[in-house]
Structure 1
Amino acid sequence: MIKHLLASAALVAALSASAAEVTLWEGSCNLGTSWSESFSIPQSELTVLGNESAVLTFHYTLDPKCTYWQYKPCSDVSGWTPLDVATELGNDYQCISVEAGSSKTDCPLGAKDIAAIKADGLRVQGYGMTVTKVTCETDKTVDENLLWEGECTLSWSSQGAIIPASKLKAGDLLKYTFSTAGSGSQVIVKGADWNDLLGSAKIAQKDIATGSAIVGVTQEMLDNCGANINVQGEGGCVLTKVERAGSFDPAGVVAYGERFCGTNVFTVLPKSATQLAVTFTAAVDYAQLMNSSWTDLAATSSSKTNADGTVTYTFGLTADMISAINAKKELIINSNGKLISVNLPSGDDSGIADIVADENVPVEYFNLQGIRVENPENGLYIRRQGNKVSKVIIR
């Protein structure tokens, strides 16, 4: 342990000479005295860490009624696996003590710990402390467009590439990069509540095999994601990076991003909508609007070729079609071409899912894991009212 501490001190000194401080998490989390409280830092905040070594600095206040104070850093997987540093510096229960009267402490991480939290996020428990901030020093150039980086084999049992909603805005283009396509793979964008995220389209095997896929952030996605967006999937595909790659005009957009058809689009359409416009990369032999069971809704359609060579099919909608789509919150675009976007033409987009004015919508609070909190107190929360999402500290 002494050897580890000496190496840690040298690392802190070396970093301090040339590095800038980056805030990974800020709020107010009273860890209490029952080990039942915790907070987490998602993978997307940890991309600034080097791969071989890093030092996290925990800032806190100590409960004067306690006679000892401890914290336990873990990877944020099911079961909250303690990091190696907790074994090396902690007691038999892998709890690391801090000194009486202190207000911050350094937590040195090796390559194995860094890989674990970059893949799964960091979860912190403790005793007798109120943590207010977690920082690190890095000599890496912070790329504001890099939202997540690591190596994640997607599954249905865990949330991958968690990105806080506070980092996103409608109109952002997110590029998801895959190193391995797998077999029979598919990827679905999810909200913090694990539901298929409205305003997004499924990423299928053919899309993954190209090496990357674009997900356009729609207003409907932000209205329904809670505290974060993430991805789940199957087939052995491996995600390595999510980055902001440009922007688009989100007005009236139901879903955005090139996809091979048939494409599952998750949405709830306004009951007042009369048309749905679908744009393809080029002319197609046919285009069908279908429900989630692949039943052709037999919508009437017209097409036009746009100046950039793309082709837009406009489908007429009836109340029965909208009811069929909204019952499952899903529609399918079937064609022999590649989809670019699904839109509500101007005049039909006045209320995706019949949204009412923000000031008339009840305020909802979520913790940083995306779980709704009925009576928030003493901490950092996501506040949502209608279309407006913000971070707030409640004391």
Structure 2
Amino acid sequence: MVTPSSLPQHWPAPRASRSLDVTVSLPGSKSLTNRALVLAALAEGPSVVRRALRSRDTLLMAAALTSLGAHVDTAGDDWSVTPGALEADAEVDCGLAGTVMRFVPPVAGLARGRIAFDGDPHMRNRPIGEILTALRGLGVDVSDGDRLPFTVTGTGSVAGGTVVVDASASSQFISALLLAGARYDRGIDVRHDGKPVPSLPHIDMTVAMLRQHGVDVDDSEANRWTVAPGPIAPVDHLIEPDLSNAAPFLALAAVSGGTVTVRDWPAATHQAGDALREILTLMGCTVTLSEAGLRVSGPDQLTGIDLDLHDVGELTPTVAALCALAGSPSHLRGIEHIRGHETDRLTALATELGALGARVTEHRDGLSLEPATLHGGTFHTYADHRMAHAGVVIGAAVDGVLVEDIDTTSKTFPDFASFWGGLLG
């Protein structure tokens, strides 16, 4: 497991006192790593997840799948996964990992045993009810309730069939059912009924990875995804860098007027973080993608934006931080669903940016920000790694910013604080 560091509870975010010109290599994608681990555990033979992200979320996923009967060897940079008989009573620690809480229960239905799920106290507030209701509709024995803690009692098989879910709170509700669906007796036919599904690139990522494993997926009809029953072939995956984790580093170029290059940026990807190329361009940055990576150079003054971030809501904290520093107004829309992430990110951003002098208005589905002069103070993170990213971006441009609980970044980026501090000297 990732162990806590000796960093202070209120970490002084370093100021970018000069124009930077740096190149960084980032850890692998959490989204890709955890999807690859689930599919490998359900496959017909062993496989390898190369350059896997080693973070709290991914280690919790590896531990969860191992407790169900698979074996995940996390000793090296490349993690080998050997499927096994899913026959064991187990306790799954979800920590603060939405992917563990949502992706593992549909797998647990295939096990023979009683699988108890729980996590960090804050995790008990995050939505999971749609998946639990769907599993009950498919014949899986799930204890009463719609939040952690809960128990799945598996019989070794799931009938499968058609389920209707409201995935307007999280695209993970869809991905969770699709990942295990090929192992269900009749496959699975998932239909969304509700407001538009957020973060659709993450569902596209799931579908693409299923197809790489030889799974037949039909997504030709809007708001409907059908997975045919059949084997899941073992496939070795090479994990891309986490492009959402690139957000604060590219933002560093934007606020310092310098240049940051992120190595190994893929030419084509389903990751939501790829939208940073367009967002930063609209804010006045110069953005270039080449074989060397993605290169971003910041302007003299950031330009505000009016954007619908519905499909890329995870980028909102860093983008909002940049908007708070921009020289013209911004409006970020379509992101009501991020109220159900690690924290209510809209309220948290309005509160913390406002406490540092930002002129920010919270709306039901977004934020409006006006130009303002920011000052130092404590930026609270609410055990949310993306909030910490927003805090360090503000700290790079404003003296005296203290980021509370910087260790929360270990969720997706171990040693983030030392890495960030090293760039700023």
TM-score (norm 2): 0.27
Find the structure with the greater CA-based Rg.
1
Which protein is richer in strand relative to its size? 1
